[in-house]
Amino acid sequence: MTQQAESRLHAGAPGDESKAATAVAGTTPDQTAGLPKGATPAVTRAVVRGTGHYLPERVVSNDEFAARLDTSNEWIVSRSGIERRHFAAEGEATSHMATKAARAALDKAGLGAESLDAIIVATSTPDLTFPSVATMVQAELGMKQGFAFDVQAVCAGFIYALAQAHALIMAGTARRIMVIGAETFSRILDHDDRATAVLFGDGAGAVILEAQPGTGTNADRGILSVDLNADGSQKDILYVDGGVATTGTAGCLRMQGKEVFRHAVEKLARTAHTAIARAGLVAAQVDWVVPHQANLRIIRATAQKLGLPMDRVITTVADHGNTSAASIPLALSVADAQGRFEPGQVIVVEAIGGGLAWGAVVLRW
Ligand code: UT7
């Protein structure tokens, strides 16, 4: 932990109104907030403190594709549920969108960037090969403290990033982390390939996680369980055909859609089940599923396998298309802005993408 973070830990982060009333010997005020007088916190929980998102101005309709490709609005809507998506403007890159989403989350939480210990960005479409998008966001936010890095797990990137942030908070390495999913997939699409060009979009979403004391039961707020998986033998069904060490180009996305679909329905339901069970819960106790927004048919099939009605599932795929690692934080932020989540509700987030890599996180809002 940085010296600044360390001193904030003892002084209380600036702009943080959740100061503890009760201090327990050997713990900091933050660690005892909300606990009965004299109680010692059993665990530290990574609790959502705020959300934010950004979508590029340009909205691309299905008809725009139909005007130049052998496709139709009817095919795209019926096969994927996508009605429109946003594409970044020329010169607009992943770090710009990520920074805007981060600022929105900080504003919503009433926090300043100086109160963050770390930034994690999930992305497969960084501005440059290096440095990371996360360090660019750090600079844009004017942060002089903390650490920053990117996570690359394609569409499962935000789940992996949440898992990283959770582990860092549980270990005491950081107390407040900005977790961002941001993508400019329009830059890696083969715009002449109707099978993939119509499916993806650009955008960014951000979630601030912060350490709060918990009792160790699943009644705690914050992340309750994590399930991560990968199967590198499935590389060829979803990949980008270029890279730094091979072609020296960014390459284009290639996908065997039907194969990915088949894996998605089966693996998403399984990982969600595993994470729910690991949290000591059953599906009936889940208030909301916020799935990766790739295809409405996958979202419906997964909800059905979990035995959950669609009115407990957040969907933004119609408006955003598949924004890869950005899709879950975008959906979380949009739903949060609509006031759909109540404190104490159980939320499951789940995603699968290239790798294959997939996973789920259960949290209490
Ligand atoms: O986020 C990462 C994870 N990615 C995903 O989860 C994507 C998973 N896959 C999917 O969402 C679906 O498989 C797609 C939406 C990509 C495709 O839907 P599908 O029902 O699996 O269609 P398909 O690939 O089997 O294609 C059916 C037909 C084919 O024609 P034939 O062979 O039946 O003559 C395709 O060539 O639809 C054709 N097709 C199109 N037709 C009109 C493919 N793309 C298009 C298109 N417009 N854009």
Q: Which atom of ligand 1 is nearest to the CA of 198?
A: 48
Residue 161's nearest CA partner among 98, 72, 115, 92 is 98
Whole-angstrom distance, CA of residue 361 vs CA of residue 159: 7
- Catalytic positions are 155, 292, 322
For residue 41, report the phi and psi dihedrals to the nearest 5 degrees. Answer: -65, 135
pLDDT at 34: 56
Whole-angstrom distance, CA of residue 70 vs CA of residue 341: 41
Give the chain's domains with CATH numbers: 3-35 (no CATH), 48-214 (3.40.47.10), 222-364 (3.40.47.10)
Going residue by residue through the chain, which has 365 residues, state the pLDDT in tens, using 9 for 90 and above: 444 444 333 333 333 333 332 233 333 444 455 555 655 567 999 999 999 999 999 999 999 999 999 999 999 999 999 999 999 999 999 999 999 999 999 999 999 999 999 999 999 999 999 999 999 999 999 999 999 999 999 999 999 999 999 999 999 999 999 999 999 999 999 999 999 999 999 999 999 999 999 999 999 999 999 999 999 999 999 999 999 999 999 999 999 999 999 999 999 999 999 999 999 999 999 999 999 999 999 999 999 999 999 999 999 999 999 999 999 999 999 999 999 999 999 999 999 999 999 999 999 99
Whole-angstrom distance, CA of residue 168 vs CA of residue 171: 5
Spacing, Cα 198 to ligand 1 middle (Å): 10
pLDDT at 139: 98
- Which residues in 251-332 belong to E strands, given as ranges? 253-255, 288-291
Q: Of all protein residues, whose CA lies closest to atom 48 belonging to ligand 1?
A: 194
3-state secondary structure of 182: strand
Test site for ligand 1: of 68, 240, 261, most ligand atoms within 8 A of the Cβ: 261
Contact 354, 154 (CB under 8 A): yes
